[in-house]
Amino acid sequence: MRQKDRNMAKVIMNLSTKQVEINRFNDNKDFNEIFKYFFKGYHKYITEVMAKIDPVYFNSMLDELQKEVDAEESALTPESNPTTL
């Protein structure tokens, strides 16, 4: 990677080692949190790469993301969030 790219990048993630090399985006986020953030916007590309690099890790992250979606959806349904009068 060019030094100019390293100096300009907000985030550099090593998908092979699951490490955040540079994080000027949000210092409080770990690899998994940043991975999920970028997956939401670039799922097509990330799916293609991660299926080749580390399918076991990728499948575990998909499971985690699905649980988060399910939790958000259940919080929005009237049955799971009854109001009292």
Per residue in 14-47, pLDDT (tens digit) is 999 999 999 998 878 999 999 999 999 999 999 9
pLDDT of 79: 66
Query: Is 85 inside any structural domain?
Result: no
Provide CB contacts within 8 A for 9, sequence distance 6+. 22, 24
Query: Is 33 inside any structural domain?
Result: yes
Q: Residue 85: pLDDT above 90? A: no
Average pLDDT, the chain: 89
- The domain containing residue 61 runs over which residues? 3-78
Query: Is 83 inside any structural domain?
Result: no
- SS3 state of residue 20: strand
Query: Is 8 inside any structural domain?
Result: yes
CA distance 41 to 29: 17
The stretch 36-64 carries a mean pLDDT of 94
Query: Is 26 inside any structural domain?
Result: yes
Q: Residue 81: pLDDT above 60? A: no
Considering its fold, how many domains does the chain have in total?
Answer: 1
How long, in residues, is the chain? 85
CB-CB neighbours of 35 under 10 Å: 22
